[in-house]
Amino acid sequence: MDERERLTRDLSRNVGRCIGDFDLIGEGDRVMVCLSGGKDSYAMMHLLDVLRRRSPVRFELLAVHLDQGHPGYDGTPLEGWLRERGFDYRIVREDTYSIVKEKVPEESTYCSLCSRLRRGILYNVAQELGCTKIALGHHRDDALETLMLNLMFTGSLKAMPPKLVSDDQRNTVIRPLLYCAEPSLARFAELERFPILPCDLCGSQDNLMRKQVKRMLAEMEAHAPKAKESMLAAIGNVRATHLLDRDLYAKLGLAVATDGDEKTPRTAIGMDGARRLPIVDAE
C-alpha cells in the first residue's frame, strides 16, 4: 500500500467514525459540500465521495462554491476538477468582497464579517437546492485553535460542534473532518494534486489571532508530541464535576466530586478509539 492509499484509508476511517459518532449523515440526505478551493474542502469532497460509494446508507453530494468577487479570482481550476470527476456542482457568485472592504477598516481583520456574509448566502442556497445538510471542512486543528481562542479571550470552554442547527432551524451544519489532523490533510492534498485557489482577502492578513494560536499549538507539540491528539481526546472526555460552571451543576444535577474522582487515574480514549496516555487530575 503506497502513501496515497494509506492516507485515503486513514482519513476515510476518521471521517466515517465522526459521521457515525454524531449521526451526521442519514438515509436520503442531500449534502451540500461547501467547496472553498482550499485543501480541506477538496479533501472533504473527495473523502465523502469515497464513503458514499461504499456506504449502505444512500445519500447525495452536491458541491457548492461561492465566488465572492475577489480581485484576480479564477475558479476555472476548481470547476474543471469537479467536472472531470463527474461531481454535481453549483457555482454561486455574490460580491461580498466589496462589502467587506467598505465596512471593515484595513487595520482590522475581515474574517468575522466575511464569514457571516458567506454563511448567510450558503444557508439560503442550501434551502434553494433542497439540501438537508451543509458540510464544512473544519478539521481537528481548527477545533483546537477555536478551543484555545475561547479559553484565552472569551472566558468560555467550547470548540466546534460536529453538528449544528441554525437559529432559524432551517439548516443543519456538519463537520465530518473534525477527527482529521491538518498535516495529514495537507499531505493528502499534495498527493492528490488538488488545484488550490488562494484566498486574497483574509489570507493576506498576518495579524490574525488564529494564526498566532496555531503557532502556539505547534510550539506546544514540539515539547509534547502528542499534545494535539490528547487535546482532541479531552474535548470528548469531559468531567463536568471538575469544572466551575454552576449552571451546568444545576442543569445536570451533578453530585459533588469525591476524593476517589481526584485520585483515580483515567485513560483517555482517542478519537480513533485507541487508548491514550493515562490522565491524572491536577491537585
Q: What is the pLDDT of residue 264?
A: 45
- Is 44 a member of any domain? yes
> Distance between CA atoms of 150 and 160, rounded to whole angstroms?
11
Given this model, what pLDDT does residue 84 score?
97
**Cα–Cα dist 41/210, whole Å:** 19
Q: Which residues contact 159 (CB under 8 A, 6 or more apart)?
A: 143, 144, 146, 147, 150, 235
For strands 172-174 and 163-165, give the pairing: antiparallel
pTM of the model: 0.86
Q: Does residue 170 fall inside a structural domain?
A: yes
**Residue 269: which of 47, 17, 16 has the closest Cα?**
17
In this structure, are 72 and 203 located in the same domain? yes
Look up cell 466515517; give the residue.
Answer: 16
- Three-state secondary structure string covering 12-81: HHHHHHHHHHHCCCCCCCEEEEECCCCHHHHHHHHHHHHHHHHCCCCCEEEEEEEECCCCCCCCHHHHHH
pLDDT at site 32: 98
* Neighbour-count burial of 121, counting CB atoms closer than 10 A to its CB (0-12 exposed, 13-18 middle, 19+ buried): middle
Q: Which residues pair with 266 in a beta bridge?
A: 279
Residue 133's Cβ-count burial label (10 Å; 0-12, 13-18, 19+) is: buried
Q: Are residues 23 and 87 in the same domain?
A: yes
User: How high is the pLDDT of residue 158?
Assistant: 94
Residue 204 sits in the same domain as residue 246 = no
Q: What is the pLDDT of residue 271?
A: 44
pLDDT at 115: 75
CATH code of residue 151: 3.40.50.620
Q: For residue 262, give its domain range.
A: 239-283
pLDDT in tens, the chain (283 residues): 899 999 999 999 999 999 999 999 999 999 999 999 999 999 999 999 999 999 999 999 999 999 887 778 889 999 999 999 999 999 998 877 777 776 666 656 666 677 788 888 999 999 999 999 999 999 999 999 999 999 999 999 999 999 999 888 999 999 999 999 999 999 999 999 999 998 655 544 445 788 899 999 999 999 999 999 999 999 999 988 889 998 888 888 877 666 655 554 444 444 444 444 333 333 3
Q: Which three cell numbers stand for residue 210?
A: 488564529
Residues 127 and 267 in one domain: no
The predicted structure's pLDDT at residue 282: 36
Question: Are 151 and 269 found together in one domain?
Answer: no
User: Does 175 reside within a domain?
Assistant: yes
Question: What is the total count of domains within the chain?
Answer: 2
Residues 6+ apart with CB under 8 A from 42: 35, 81, 189, 192, 194, 196
Residues 17 and 156 in one domain: yes
- In this prediction, residue 108 carries a pLDDT of 61
Return the CA Rg of the chain.
20
